[in-house]
Amino acid sequence: MAEKNPEQDSCGHGDACGCGGEHLQEMALPQPSLTVLGEMLFAQGMLAAGTVPNPYSQEMEPDLAMAQFQIGLMEVLEEKTRGNRSEMENKTLEEMLHALRTSYLEASRGGAPRTK
């Protein structure tokens, strides 16, 4: 993956493009699914746990209250969809929740969360 140039706009094309990221709307979006919803919550939670850098500032910006909130949202998703998930969805959701909880615990103890 190429490094992002700080002078690039949100589309990654830089000032020369001038699109301001508008053409990103043309990109193919994934099919809506339980897995995609879980992945969105997981990504937000990992950002809040300080596991990944903020994509805009490139800084680690932990927000433990927000990480805890994202875990709670994923737990609601798990509870409300119980019995209606495929085996793959079960496994994916369990793994994401485990990783998010682990990152939250490590961050709350003052340690740097581990990434794979």
Statement: residue 55 has pLDDT above 70: yes
pLDDT tens profile 23-52: 666 678 999 999 999 999 999 999 999 999
Q: Residue range 81-88: average pLDDT?
A: 96
Distance CA 53, CA 43 (A): 11
pTM, two decimal places: 0.71
How many domains, in total, are found in the chain? Answer: 1
Is residue 11 a part of any domain in this protein? Answer: no
Range of the domain at 61: 29-108
Is residue 5 a part of any domain in this protein? Answer: no
Is residue 58 a part of any domain in this protein? Answer: yes
Is residue 92 a part of any domain in this protein? Answer: yes
**Per-residue H/E/C for the chain:** CCCCCCCCCCCCCCCCCCCCCHHHHHCCCCCCCHHHHHHHHHHHHHHHCCCCCCCCCCCCCCCHHHHHHHHHHHHHHHHHHCCCCCHHHHHHHHHHHHHHHHHHHHHHCCCCCCCC
Q: Which residue has the tokens 């969809």?
A: 81
